[in-house]
Structure 1
Amino acid sequence: MFRTSDIVLIAVMVSAAALTYKTKREAEEQLAAVQKLQTQIRYEEDTIDLLKADWSLLTQPARLQKLAEIYKLQLGLEPLNARQIGGLDDVPMKPVNIEDLSSQRLGGMADNSGKEPSGGKDPVVTGSTVQ
């Protein structure tokens, strides 16, 4: 018959085989996930290349010139005159409007001067403390 040590060794071998199988399966799942991500990356790169090619075709100067001539009347386009281009010195400065803040109230609750608390309580109810 089997000895106790034989049964223990068989159990250890079965456990090792199960652990090896489980590890191999997890590694294969991770490899499949990596391959799926690489496929998605390649797809996105191809999409980006396609969009760049489309953008290149749509922004060709000859095409834009042709479209500008076709829709000139509808868009009201006219050639640019050299006198229309100016610098920052040609733009007038925005006037600065400074208000006198010394005579105004400073924000409602911040200015409570001249008011005495009624009955020892603060007249401003904020809801943060029980009165």
Structure 2
Amino acid sequence: MFRTSDIVLIAAMVGAAAFTYQTKHEAENQLDAVRKIQAQIRFEEDTTDLLKADWSLLTQPSRLQKLAQTYESELKLQSVDARQIVSLKDLPVRPLTIEDITSERFGGVAEIAPDQTTTGGIAQ
């Protein structure tokens, strides 16, 4: 009936079909994972766009001006005078002082006696 070569070929065909099915199944799982990640990315992008829109709405100068006027007594804000805005070169230069700490002794353990601990490092 069946020869040995027929049985070997049928087994190879069944093995190839199983391998193909497994590969297809793994590819579909990976595609599902990619789609989930893409959906998460779209959600995050939409959330970011929404937050940017909220931020631009909340920081509108006219809205901030109304809030400043409404809460003027609590905040005690004052208007910026044009004389308060200066360039960097108009600011006074602070003197730069660097302390010399190389000659100071800090009184650590190493000043009392050298470390005599034997380790696996370089021998002296």
TM-score of the superposition, structure 2-length normalised? 0.79
Q: Distance in 2 between matches of 1:101 and 1:24?
A: 70
Residue 20 of structure 1 aligns to a residue in which SS?
Answer: helix
**What code does the residue aligned with 2:117 have?**
G
Q: How far did residue 107 of structure 1 move?
A: 7.0
The answer on 1:21 being equivalent to 2:35 is no
SS at 1:15 equivalent? helix
Letter aligned with residue 93 of structure 2: M
Amino acid in structure 2 at the alignment position of 1:67: L
Change (3 A) 1:65 1:126: farther
Note the alpha carbon deviations across 1:36-87, whole angstroms, 9 max, x for none: 1111111111111111111111011110000010111211111111121222
- Closer, same or farther: CA 74–127 of 1 in aligned 2, 3 Å: farther
* Structure 1: gaps spanning 5 or more residues: 113-122
In structure 2, runs of 5+ residues without a counterpart are: none
| Residue 71 of structure 2 is aligned to residue 81 of structure 1 | no
1:21 positional shift: 0.6
Q: CA deviation at 1:101?
A: 6.8
Counterpart amino acid of residue 16 in structure 1: A
Change (3 A) 1:53 1:98: closer
Rg larger in 1 or in 2? 1
**Runs of 4+ residues deviating >4 angstroms:** 98-102, 105-109
The structure with more helix, counted as a fraction of residues: 2
Superposed CA deviations along residues 1-40 of structure 1, whole A, max 9, x for unmatched, are 3211111111111111111111111111111111111111
Q: Distance in 2 between matches of 1:4 and 1:61?
A: 87
| Alignment correspondent of 2:30 | 30
Paired position in structure 1 for 2:64: 64
Offset, 1:97 = 2.9
TM-score (norm 1): 0.75
Deviates most, 60-69 or 73-82 = 73-82
